[in-house]
Structure 1
Amino acid sequence: MLEYTDYLKFISSFVIIIIFLYAIYYFVNNYGKGLIPGKKGLIKILDIRYISKGKGFAIIEANRQFFLISFDEKEIKVIKEWDTINTGDSLSEKDENNNP
């Protein structure tokens, strides 16, 4: 039969493991942005819309240009390219200059 000290050792070990896992989670979310692919770099996926399994559209930002691409299991096609886009939050510089 287990004694009181055995239960105490088990609970303390369990608590230490939980704290350790939470510390790793906190570190990766706050300081590990460069460790996770796609979070930092020159190419950003701004939005993806899937039509069916393995097929869809995406808006990509690369080298300060924006691309609307379509993709499926066999190929990727660039449909349209922009220098600036309207994200809905605010107008881009190009749109502000053209609108009175």
Structure 2
Amino acid sequence: MLEDYNLVKFIIVFAIMVGSLFGIYLYINKFGVLSVSNLKSNIKIIEIKHIGKDKGFILAQVENKSYFFSFDNSGIKLIEKFEKDINEESRKKDNY
């Protein structure tokens, strides 16, 4: 009788531990280790244009500087650096 009680107790504790570890695993995969929503990012991706499979251009802004990159299978290359901010309103007018 006592042996059956110890076996049931072991199974219940083991199930709780496995369930807790699985819950922590799911939480970390869904939300990440740290919540970074309060951190302010200085990097903004303005636009990404794909010109083929695994090839394209990226326009990014860091503080008051803009960068124009190209990317392909071999990596990312800086094409040009702009000191002036990109006016998003004028860019939107050009597209429409």
TM-score under structure 2 length normalisation:
0.48
Which structure is higher in RCO with an 8 Å CA cutoff and minimum separation 6?
A: 2
TM-score under structure 1 length normalisation:
0.46
Higher helix residue share: 2
**Structure with max Cα Rg:** 2
